[in-house]
A and B are shown apart, each in its own frame.
Chain A
Amino acid sequence: MDKEETKQAFIALYDTLSSAIFRHCFFRLSSRERALEISQEAFLKVWEYFDRGTDIKNPTALVYRVANNLIIDEYRRKKMVSLDMMQESGFDIEDDDEGKIMEFMEIDKVRQAIAKLPEKYRQVVTLRFVEGLSPSEIGEIVKRTENSVSVQLNRAIKMLQEILHI
């Protein structure tokens, strides 16, 4: 692949995954702004792989893996915060729409519940239930077998239901 083709391939990857990666970061972090920064950093790091001419078999999995590593680094620095603090950091809710408010409260509840899961379950839960990826696709990202991912998902969903009292 020449330089121009590499660049086009990377931009196409960005166009396909930008929202998904942001969503993944958002559900695992405390701040929309930080989710934006981590998403951008993940794509910048992936570009370095593209630029070096590295043979990338599964670019989607690579982007998710890089984002996950950055998220883990972020955990080490910060704690999770509530919706109020998210609003203070710029997470805006159009408070003239009660439906939207309820929606965001539910999203925040889910986000906090995911944060209470053990680390090994957080990523698979977000990939499966927020992104809708299959266990085999998740396996590619987290470098585990499909069976192992399925077992983790079952346990994770039970824990999530307990946390959310459903």
Chain B
Amino acid sequence: MKKSVVLILALAMILVVSGMVLAEKVEITVATGAVGIEYDLSVEAAQRYMELHPDVVVNVLDTPDLAQDRLGLYLQFFEAKSSEVDVYQIDVIWPGDLAEHFVDLYEYGAERVISQHFPAIVENNTVDGRLVAIPWFTDAGLLYYRSDLLDKYGLEVPQTWDDLTRTAKMIQAGERAAGNPDFWGYVWQGNSYEGLTCNALEWVVSNGGGTIISPDKKVTINNSNAVEIIEMTANWVGSISPDGVIGFGEEDARGMWEAGNSAFMRNWPYAYSLGNSEDSAIAGKFDVAPLPAGNSGRGAATLGGWQLAVSKYSEHPEVAADVALYLASYEEQKIRAIKGSMNPTIQALYSDAEVLQASPFFGSLYDVFINAAARPSTVTSPRYNEVSTKFFTAVHSVLTGQNDAQTALEELELDLEDLTGFEIGRP
């Protein structure tokens, strides 16, 4: 009898104590990407945070690779106002659309660190004066070129699109004559998806054609500069770019590039370290440069990248915000830059010796990253996805030859006017 009372008491004690311990431990879930080594990097970072804060448990939730699928998953959490996920990794085009579900990080001490980050990304993540996400890593479109082939034919790295077309044509003719019938001049992303919006925005901006919809809410896409450059790129299909480029995504282009079958490629920075890996036929034979310029006289790179945002439905927003700010801090971004060659969003890291040793082009292309052109996602929120879909569908119809650029952009202008209610203006 006495024994059992003691036993029950002991059990009760254990329950109470463990309950207290559990109650003290705050659980935070971070939804992150799992492309390549992304997930492992996040788990390691979470481990480091937990060592510094023993009263917090940080779980890492891996999410689908495709941005559109990931958005679908997030939307389901938001629709249910779920507190399951506290910190979300969001695409650079989402802050506007999803702002209502995130807390203002300025209320959680982001002022201290925000000046370290690229101003363009901070502006992109600021909706109605609220900082809805802290920049984590960034991306920008780059021109990859085969330095060995340029040397072989005695050519320069192209500065303009006309240069690129000419150079690509020459190398393509030469390599085909040398016995590689699968060789093409230039590969890029021409499939009907967000990647085409990124590519086409670069063409149009570099040719002085504006950013589809200007920051002051004008539909600017229907102009002669935009028509001219889109007509030119449509002519690439089947001449310097394979006919199949209208079905290419990033990985299709990279596959062809790494097999040594193209002279130039437009892609994101991630292809740099992969192109130098062991199973790449062109390891050490290529370099990167800013994308060529059009009428505007300077090239343009579309801004990509990912941010961390804290859910409004989180049970512990203070702790969640602290986790987000920690993950986006100088030390953590440095580790990601070295191990995963992901572009930091903190300016000082671009002059950090260890980072530069791992990815030398971070230093030489600093200007590209800091001047990257943002897609009009914040100004058109919450309709950006529809705006982008209409844009890449219109461009794709020109690439496949169903439409001429003038007609496609004229229709697009009316569609965007209907959709956003903005006026038509000049870029």
- Is chain B found bound to chain A in the same assembly? no
Residues of A within 8 A of B (CB): none
Residues of B within 8 A of A (CB): none
